[in-house]
Amino acid sequence: MRAPNADEFEIWYALYHAFSVAVHEEVTREIGEEIWKWINDPKHPTKAIIAESDGQLAGFVHYRPFPRTLHGNEACYLDDLYVLEDHRGSGLARQLIDAVSAIAKERGWTHVRWVTEEKNMRARAFYEKFAEPMTLITFKID
């Protein structure tokens, strides 16, 4: 587990694009380039960790702090988590989450939070092995 190198855009973007297709929010290259700028900007809060297997990029996670206004502190929001299909079940997803959790602890963030689709039973079963589901419902206005 490590932060991506600035010259790894193409291999990161291939995974990022595959993730976007999997969650039915296909991104353009221009969006990918913007997110890559965020990840590599020391002043931007969005960061990434990548997972390798046999020297090849096999997964990634994006994360960022968010303020908890009712508690006067910050927690961590895990925005995107993706592992290539042929590496699922290998432990990489858990290692990525653990790496984000370690960063959160180091920075004094109170917890790590993320969402998944209600119908994504495979992911939910995996997450429920080590994380507590929340009762919050997410709303959106376009």
Among candidates 86, 83, 95, which has minimal Cα distance to 123?
83
Give per-residue pLDDT as tens, 63-98: 999 999 999 999 999 999 999 999 998 999 999 999
Where do the H-state alpha helices sit in 2-120?
Answer: 9-22, 29-40, 92-107
Residue 7 and residue 40 in contact, taking contact as beta carbons nearer than 8 Å: no
Distance between CA atoms of 104 and 116, rounded to whole angstroms? 20
Can you give the pLDDT at residue 40?
97
Question: Is pLDDT at 140 greater than 90 in this prediction?
Answer: no
Per the prediction, the chain carries an average pLDDT of 94
Give the domains, in start order, of the chain with CATH numbers: 6-127 (3.40.630.30)
The alpha carbon of residue 140 and the mean position of all alpha carbons in its chain are separated, in whole angstroms, by 20
Distance between CA atoms of 32 and 46, rounded to whole angstroms? 13
Spatial neighbors of 141 by CB under 8 A, at least 6 apart, are none
Distance between CA atoms of 120 and 34, rounded to whole angstroms? 28
The pTM for the full model equals 0.92
Give per-residue pLDDT as tens, 37-70: 999 999 999 999 999 998 889 999 999 999 999 9
